[in-house]
Amino acid sequence: MFTLTEDERAINETARDFADEFLAPKAVEWDQNKHFPVDVLRKAAGLGMGGIYIGEDVGGSDLTRVDAVRIFEQLATGDPSIAAYISIHNMVTWMIDTYGNDEQRRQWVPGLCSMDQLGSYCLTEPGAGSDAAALTTKAVRDGDDYILNGVKQFISGAGVSEIYVVMARTGNAGPKGISAIVVPKDSAGLSFGANEKKMGWNAQPTRQVVFEDVRVPAANVLGNEGEGFRIAMNGLNGGRLNIAACSIGGAQSALDKAVSYLAERKAFGSRLLDAQALQFRLADMKTELEAARTLLWRAAEALQTGAEDKVELCAMAKRFGTDTGFDVANAALQLLGGYGYLAEYGVEKIVRDLRVHQILEGTNEIMRVVVARSIVGAA
C-alpha cells in the first residue's frame, strides 16, 4: 500500500497535473468572485474523476478507495474547495451506484460520472446536524409517489446540481424511519435559498434546499424504505476519508508555499530558511502531515476491504487529518508573516477552506464519539 505501482503513480501524477493546470491558477479568483467552475469540473470528469470508485458498466473508473484519497489530496493542492465538491459529488454517485437497482443506476449514474449532471447530498437540516437521525423532512406515500416537505441546510452545490439524494422520514422517529430518495432538480415545488456567505469554500455554492409538496415517483427510493440512514452513514465513511485527503492536500500546498517563501526571504543577513528554529517547525509540519497521510491510507484500505474496524478508522482519519491539515496550514500562514495574510499568496484562502473540514461530514467531536464507542464497546 505504501509503495505505489507504476499505474498508481500515473493516477497521482494525472490528478496533480490537473490541479496545477486547471485549479491552482484560478483558485484565488474563484474564491473572491464566488465562481463555481462547472466547465472545469467536467474536464475533471473527462479524466475519470466524476466517478472514481464507480462501476465501469455505468461510466465509472472503478478505482479503489486508496486511489481516491490520493486523487483528492492531489486535487486539493490546487483548490481544496473544488476538490471537496468533487468528493461530495462522488459520494452521491456512489450511493446511487451501490444501493440503486439496475434501472436507477443506468438512469442517473452515467450522467453523474461525466458530470453532465452534478449531484448534491441532502442530510443536514436547520435543526438536525450532528443528530442526523432526528431529521424532520417528510416523505409521505401517495399512490405511486412520495410527497416531500421540509428544508435541508448547508447543501453543497445546491441550485446548480441536477440530482439530489435526500434523506427523508418515511416512517417513525429514529434512524429506521428514514429513506433515501433521489429528487431531480426540475421537480415541481423544489426551491433553493440564497447562496450562503461563508468563511471559506466560496468557489462552491452552499444553499438551503426547500421541499414544498415535491412529488417524486416511489421508484426513486434507493434500496428499501427505511434504509436511508444506513445508506447515509455508509456514504459518510468514504466522505470522511476524502475530506481528510482534501485537508492534507491543502496543507501540503500551504507548506510548500511556506518553504518557497522562507527560501527567498532574508532577515538579518541570512535566508529565513537557514534559521534552525524555522527548520524545526517545518520538520514538525512535514512529520504531522505524513502521519495523517499514513493513517488515511490505512483507513482507506480498511474501507475498501470491509474490515471490521473500518468505521472507527474512517472517523480517526477524518479527525486527525482535518485537525492536522488546518494546524499545518495555519502554521504556514504564520511563517509567511504579513504576506500570509494577503489573499494573493493563497495561504489565507487555504486556511479558510480547511477550517470547515473539521465540521462537515460529522464534526470532529462526533468523530471522537465514534472512536470512543468502539473502545467502550470492546471493553
Q: Indicate which residues carry an active-site annotation.
A: 361
Which of 374, 366, 367 is CA-nearest to residue 317? 367
Contact partners, residue 42, CB within 8 Å, separation at least 6: 50, 114, 115, 116
b (16+ CB within 10 A) / e for 96-135: bbbbbeeebbebbbbbbbebebbbbbbbbbeebbeebbeb
Number of neighbours of residue 76 by Cβ within 10 angstroms: 34
Contact partners, residue 274, CB within 8 Å, separation at least 6: none
DSSP state string for 88-157 = HHHHHHHHHHHHS-HHHHHHHHHHHHTTSS-EEEE--BTTBSS-GGG---EEEEETTEEEEEEEEEEEET
Contact partners, residue 188, CB within 8 Å, separation at least 6: 214, 215
Contact partners, residue 133, CB within 8 Å, separation at least 6: 174, 175, 178, 229
* 201 close to 353: Cβ distance less than 8 angstroms: yes
- Residue 221: beta bridge partners? 181
* Widest distance between CA atoms in the chain: 80
Cell output for 171? 416512517
